[in-house]
Amino acid sequence: MFRNSIFPTRNFYPLVLLSLLLFSCNSSSREGVDETQFAGYWYQGKAEINVFDLQQSRYGEVRPGKAVMIFVTEDFSKKKQVKLDNPEENASDAQKVMKLNMTRDFVTGIYPYHTMLSVFTPVYEEVYSPKVTASVTEWCGQSFTQLNFKRGNYQVKQFSYFESEGDGESKMSAMPEDELFNRIRLNPELVQTGNQLLIPSLIFQRFAHIQLKPENASIAKRDLPNNQTEVVVEYAGIGRRLSIQFEKFFPYEILSFEETWTREDGKKETTTATRTHMKMSEYWKQNGSEFEPLRKELGL
């Protein structure tokens, strides 16, 4: 409902002014990002919360759960690759990014799984996401992966309680698959089709226990009924297929996604997520116990 509102929040105009000042300092901008349209939706001072019914394949069975995608814009430090606390005092270091925080929660038998993915993608610069992180926690232990783009490569750090996947560092140069969600939200035209190298989903890599490295992938787009579009990513070498369905027109809301992994033995594991709720919210201000009933409005 917010995209059609003619009454911006009281924080709207200062945010737009700041964003335009930062934009004017950039030497290049992404084609296809309409500043007026983009600012009217994404610079309200709110985040977009999307809740999905999750059917997660794990250990040969499909587990019901919830996935949440939170999209929000923020000012990011180019030097430190963290959120800027005072962007107005560090304009030369500020980089406007689209941030995706995505969680998955489901149960395997007696014990729960919780995953979190964070992707920070520049709104205006034609560069890869400066930072991507992912974590998996469950009763057996936890693992964490961080990608930082520096000097033309991703500096990769991986930590895990598994001996075979223990602490390690590496370098690689390719676009992260996880960045595709943010590119769709900026403008689906930023998703290039055809064959290219991608770094597979960090969560998938942890679940599949395969080596993290760039893989050959094929990306295709096609129109669907009801003003929807689909992006499909296929990796022949690792048997992974990802499809993302989203609204054809701005703000390109993501409606569902599906992951299929064909294992070496030919068995297929399919995970699906279908959106059930969406809300624009200043959720970081709603951390008191009196706000807990709001979770019901989101189907949580």
The string of pLDDT tens digits covering residues 273-288 is 999 999 999 999 999 9
Backbone angles phi, psi at 222, to 5 degrees: -150, 150
Please state, in angstroms and as integers, the Cα–Cα distance from residue 63 to each residue in 59, 109, 131, following that order.
9, 9, 30
Contacts of 32 (CB under 8 A, 6+ apart): 186, 187, 189, 190
Query: What is the per-residue pLDDT for 30?
Result: 77
Per the structure block, which two tokens stand in for 88?
């107005």
Query: What is the per-residue pLDDT for 124?
Result: 93
Per the structure block, which two tokens stand in for 295?
């979770």
Report the alpha-carbon distance of residue 14 to residue 62 in Å, rounded: 47
Report the alpha-carbon distance of residue 121 to residue 129 in Å, rounded: 4
Question: What tens digit of pLDDT does each residue of 228-259 get?
Answer: 999 999 999 999 999 999 999 999 999 999 99
Question: What tens digit of pLDDT does each residue of 216-230 get?
Answer: 999 999 999 999 999
The model's confidence at residue 44, banded by pLDDT at 50, 70 and 90, is very high
The model's confidence at residue 16, banded by pLDDT at 50, 70 and 90, is very low
Query: What is the per-residue pLDDT for 27?
Result: 38
Query: What is the per-residue pLDDT for 164?
Result: 84
Report the alpha-carbon distance of residue 100 to residue 119 in Å, rounded: 5
Query: What is the per-residue pLDDT for 7?
Result: 34
